[in-house]
Amino acid sequence: MNLNEPYALFERNNQELLQLLNDWEPKLLALSNEIISIRKNKQNRTIKQIVGHLVDSASNNTHRIIHLQYQENPLIFPDYATFGNNDRWIAIQDYQSEDWNDLVQLWKYSNEHVIHVIRNVKKEKLDNEWIAGTGEKVSLQSMISGYLSHFKLHLNEIDELINNENR
């Protein structure tokens, strides 16, 4: 594979992520307190908690991307999402009581920072691997490539909550 191919994919993903951030920021800010605080998805999360989870995802992925470029390979790094730990993160940080405007801005800017970090990844480090909590090995390249799909999964959950008044 040409070493520039992953970077072309990364940049397409980055551009789509930027577009989603720009499209969703005003949409999120326009939501009522009832919609963001009361309606819950299948994981029993409100929109505020889902957005908080996406902030956690941005933070954790930033750390992984950085660690995968200088730590010993394969990297043993805690997986905040394994065994329900992501719900602990949401609870401990109490996203449910976070100021909504502040949370949306944190979500936006933490994801813009992920894009910046991705744009500066060293090509020679793309095959470095992280050992997830389940023992699975994930390459830096795969982790970066999969970030957008995880982000969109949660936006779809938010969209369902916005559009379903019976939750």
Q: Say which residue the tokens 């793309």 belong to.
A: 126
> Helix 140-163 to helix 100-119 angle, to the nearest 10 degrees?
150
Check: CB of residue 96 under 8 Å from CB of residue 46: yes
In angstroms, the CA 34 to CA 32 distance is: 5
The count of residues in the chain is 167
Tokens of 155: 């936006």
Q: What is this structure's pTM?
A: 0.92
User: How confident is residue 2, by pLDDT bands cut at 50, 70 and 90?
Assistant: low
Domain-by-domain residue ranges, the chain? 5-163
- Over the stretch 65-104, which tens digit does the pLDDT of each residue have? 999 999 999 988 777 777 678 899 999 999 999 999 999 9
- Give the closest residue to 127 by CA, choosing from 140, 111, 137, 143: 140
Written out in words, the top-level CATH class of the domain with range 5-163 is: mainly alpha
Are the C-beta atoms of residues 117 and 140 closer than 8 Å to each other?
no
Q: In whole angstroms, what is the distance from residue 23 CA to residue 26 CA?
A: 7
Q: Tell me the average pLDDT of the chain.
A: 92
The Cα-based distances of 123 to 3, 5, 65 in angstroms read 7, 11, 12
Q: Which of 167, 51, 43 is nearest to 99 (CA)?
A: 51
